Structure 1
Amino acid sequence: MPEGAQTNGQRLKRLRMRRRWDQRKLSEVSGYSLSAVRKFEQGRRSLDRADVILAFSKALDCHPTEITGQPYTPPDSDLDGQAAIASIGAVRRALLRHGRPARPTDQEVAEVDLITLRERVAKANGHRQRASLTKLAEVLPALLRDLQVAVEVSTGERQRKTYDLLASTYECAMQYLYKLGRSSDATLATERVLWSAEKTDDPLRVLAARWYDAGEFLAIGEHDEAGRLIDEALTSLGAMGTDSPEKVSLTGAFHLKASLNHARATDNKAAEQHLQKAQEQANLLGKDRNDFQLQFGPTNAAIWSVSLPVEMGKGQEAVRRAELITRSLPKQYASERRSHHYIDVGRAYYYNGQHEQALEAFVKAEKLAPQATRMNASVRETTHTMLNGNRRTALFEFGMRLGVV
């Protein structure tokens, strides 16, 4: 069976057997019941929640992607998917060349133009926000090269501005790689974001980069380290005198990150407290902002209010919140964020036993962001589990597009 067509439970079983453990041993070490382990391995229960995957990965001493099976390779019939992954090698090479002498040609030096570079970075971020991975793949390699040349040949304030553009483009690369399941390469990109941000001498820009750094530790279940980074950032923000919109926006974004960290650490009370603090910051702003490409405001806080109970496996609460906000979701809001919202809504409906509505939400997410949705580990696992109980035409066709059947 192709790797992409396997369930997380099948991979869990293989990892367990590699250690020569029986199901009872895995149950004892992970803290999950023997019945739950059996259902996960048999594909009768969706193994899609991050906190559960992290518990098993810690028990088996493996990386979470060994359970989720990432990265996935799009089928040959998915031409857009193949185009989306075409630049992975070139982006990786650009990341590896970071900090090394660019050795530009005379023509490259002559063509350095900050205004043009700023326009190209804005275009790349537009592709990122629309989840247009194929278009982002087309522009990233050359843009990274040109910015690496530009920071090498620039000085003073001009160089600091160029480093800001480079940090933003590394963020695009990080999101591109993350959406395609290339976690180790995405981590490398995050390190480049941090390094470039520090060269800008902008305290807020540096803190924005640390928002992603905290996410790296959160993704592998290092909740204490993620929490320390978040707390340090919130302390730094609190010490800043003026409540500028940028500061308020960044403070709210860190409270959202804290809420997710606590949710995955199964501290539900703290998770809700940080969500409430984020909502207070969103109300203080009064409108959606996109400072440092970290979208924050009333809309994003509302979206996270659904994500949080999904992370906790509270289907009824997530569905209740989703039905309150989905209709009012601005259509002009970033496709990437709206698609992720519909993924969360689909998972909420699945937890609530409403499989028809779950499929409808996943299809909405796919229309907004085809490749990001098809590559999403939770969508693939949940769809796999639903197919075990019902292989009706619409669900089967969606599974075919995902490559799980």
Structure 2
Amino acid sequence: MKPSGKDVDPQDRAFGQRVQRFRKERGRTQAEFAASLGKTSSWLSQVERGVQPVQRMDLLQQIADELGVSVQHLRPSVPADGPSQPLTARALSNDLDETRRLLSGHPALRTLLATPDDSGPSRALALLQSDVDDLWDLTHAGQLAQVSTLAVELLPELERSVRTDSGEYQDALYLLLSRAYQALSAAFVRQDEADAAWVAADRAILAAERSGDPLHVCASVFRMVQAFIRLRSLGQAEHAARTAIDALGEQGSQSPESLSVLGSLHLALALVRARASARTEAKEEIAKARAIAAQLGENRNDFNLEFGPVNVEIQAVSTAVDLGDAGEALDIGLTIDATELSPERQGRLLMDLGRAHAQRRHGGEALRCLQDAEAIAPEIIQTHQAARAAIRELVLVAGPNASHELLELAERAAALD
């Protein structure tokens, strides 16, 4: 429910006044500016009057970008004593903010500037490996706040270790560093922080190369492709995926690990094709991945890619939904048993089934799938634009008959902002 004029938060009113002032200074009408945001004039009018709070960080950034100002110009930093009603926790910061700040600098500068005696000893390799394994477990479980807490401690230690150990463990340390950055890239994609995911994937590629493990380089490229897809940079995503696929094809390895990476890259390329509405090419990539999964004959988790027959079918559902083939998506998806896969994969399947039901105007079934997805992997509903679009469509179709459950889901997902 929107606040009445008397109940408007002073911060929201001040924010709206700044938006209005910057908009007018740039000679843009409400209708023109609202259209550039994909919103209605009525919505923008409410924002400028402070009636409609803007709490999602991605939307706040979009408004700032359109006005050519920083976010701080629109929403100054909260003072030390805090306002009476600050923004929600998600609006002020994401779970991975501390890790994002860490990526913004060089995590090993002190080591580079120190004498060898100043750097301090590293922990045993087995303990570092255990922490990297935990980082991946937390990422797969969607516990992103814990991911950030662990990463902020672990990354500088790994970066220091690879620079201070010049002996037999250096390659293994570089591999751990690559795996840690791969986990962070995957986590940033889930948080819809695609630019940070790109940075993490790039660092993972470099560390993997220095470790001497080319398959981990290719697995890191997969993470970069996912970041490019979230950035809607489909040309870059296609180039990165195709380059790795071609290189793996020339190598000709039939090891399970190599096949897992190759199959995952075909799935990523299928998503790129689907987002570009290239129906035939998308289905061709799914078919190639399906053949590789059949060759493997089992669900594996090499390089934390979770590649195998079940994951291929989950991606086939997603591809079909992206192409508007809701019937095909439901035919495939309702036969999948994903209970052995991570919460992220299970949540993704349920989200895509919800989208498929929404396309078919199956309101009750769509709501149930989306609620189940939220229960398993909340960030999928909170950060994935496709999920928010499906929820928004359900609300519009239901109109005044929208259920209390649907409206609550829409509010949690900020689908109507």
| TM-score, with length taken from structure 1 | 0.76
- Is residue 211 of structure 1 aligned with residue 222 of structure 2? yes
- Is residue 89 of structure 1 aligned with residue 94 of structure 2? no
**Aligned in 2, Cα 1:19/1:243: closer, same or farther, shift over 3 Å?**
farther
Indicate the larger mover: 259-268 or 104-113. Answer: 104-113
Selected match of 1:146 from 128, 147, 157: 157
Is residue 346–residue 362 contact of structure 1 (8 Å, CA) maintained in 2? yes
Selected match of 2:278 from 254, 267, 270: 267
**Counterpart residue identity of residue 85, structure 1:** N
Residue 136 of structure 1 is matched in structure 2 by 147
Deviation at 1:111, TM superposition (A): 3.7
Secondary structure at the counterpart of residue 211 of structure 2: coil
Is residue 122–residue 161 contact of structure 2 (8 Å, CA) maintained in 1? no
**Counterpart residue identity of residue 402, structure 1:** A
Size of the alignment, in residue pairs? Answer: 352
Is residue 131–residue 369 contact of structure 1 (8 Å, CA) maintained in 2? yes
| Distance (whole Å) between structure 2 residues aligned to residue 346 and residue 76 of structure 1 | 33
| Distance (whole Å) between structure 1 residues aligned to residue 281 and residue 191 of structure 2 | 31
Which of the pair has the greater relative contact order for Cα pairs under 8 Å at 6+ separation? 1
Residue 45 of structure 2 is matched in structure 1 by none
- Is residue 242 of structure 1 aligned with residue 276 of structure 2? no
Secondary structure at the counterpart of residue 283 of structure 2: helix
| Distance (whole Å) between structure 1 residues aligned to residue 102 and residue 294 of structure 2 | 42
| Distance (whole Å) between structure 1 residues aligned to residue 208 and residue 27 of structure 2 | 42
Selected match of 2:340 from 332, 342, 367: 332
Per-residue deviation, residues 222-264 of structure 1 (Å, max 9, x unmatched)? 4344323222212211222431101111111111112111111
| Distance (whole Å) between structure 1 residues aligned to residue 349 and residue 119 of structure 2 | 42
**Aligned in 2, Cα 1:387/1:279: closer, same or farther, shift over 3 Å?**
same
| Distance (whole Å) between structure 1 residues aligned to residue 390 and residue 310 of structure 2 | 26
| Distance (whole Å) between structure 2 residues aligned to residue 294 and residue 151 of structure 1 | 25
**Aligned in 2, Cα 1:337/1:108: closer, same or farther, shift over 3 Å?**
farther
Secondary structure at the counterpart of residue 243 of structure 1: coil
Per-residue deviation, residues 176-234 of structure 1 (Å, max 9, x unmatched)? 32222223222222221222122112111111111222334334444344323222212
Secondary structure at the counterpart of residue 123 of structure 2: coil
Is residue 357–residue 365 contact of structure 2 (8 Å, CA) maintained in 1? yes
Is residue 263–residue 292 contact of structure 2 (8 Å, CA) maintained in 1? yes
Please tell me whether Structure 1 or Structure 2 has the larger radius of gyration of its CA atoms: 2
Residue 265 of structure 2 is matched in structure 1 by 254
- Is residue 341 of structure 1 aligned with residue 349 of structure 2? yes
Indicate the larger mover: 299-308 or 128-137. Answer: 128-137
Deviation at 1:107, TM superposition (A): 8.5
| Distance (whole Å) between structure 1 residues aligned to residue 231 and residue 192 of structure 2 | 14
- Is residue 179 of structure 1 aligned with residue 190 of structure 2? yes
**Aligned in 2, Cα 1:157/1:291: closer, same or farther, shift over 3 Å?**
farther
**Ranges in structure 1 where 5+ consecutive residues have no aligned partner:** 3-13, 27-36, 44-62
| Distance (whole Å) between structure 2 residues aligned to residue 111 and residue 274 of structure 1 | 44
Secondary structure at the counterpart of residue 199 of structure 1: helix
Residue 127 of structure 1 is matched in structure 2 by 138
**Ranges in structure 2 where 5+ consecutive residues have no aligned partner:** 3-8, 10-22, 42-58, 66-70, 72-84
Residue 310 of structure 1 is matched in structure 2 by 321
Superposed, 1:330-369 pairs within 5 Å as: 331-369=339-377
Deviation at 1:265, TM superposition (A): 1.6
**Counterpart residue identity of residue 215, structure 1:** Q
| Distance (whole Å) between structure 2 residues aligned to residue 300 and residue 139 of structure 1 | 28
Indicate the larger mover: 138-147 or 377-386. Answer: 377-386
Residue 10 of structure 1 is matched in structure 2 by none
Per-residue deviation, residues 28-59 of structure 1 (Å, max 9, x unmatched)? xxxxxxxxx9xx7569xxxxxxxxxxxxxxxx
| Distance (whole Å) between structure 1 residues aligned to residue 28 and residue 329 of structure 2 | 37
Superposed, 1:4-43 pairs within 5 Å as: none
| Distance (whole Å) between structure 2 residues aligned to residue 288 and residue 117 of structure 1 | 27
Residue 52 of structure 1 is matched in structure 2 by none
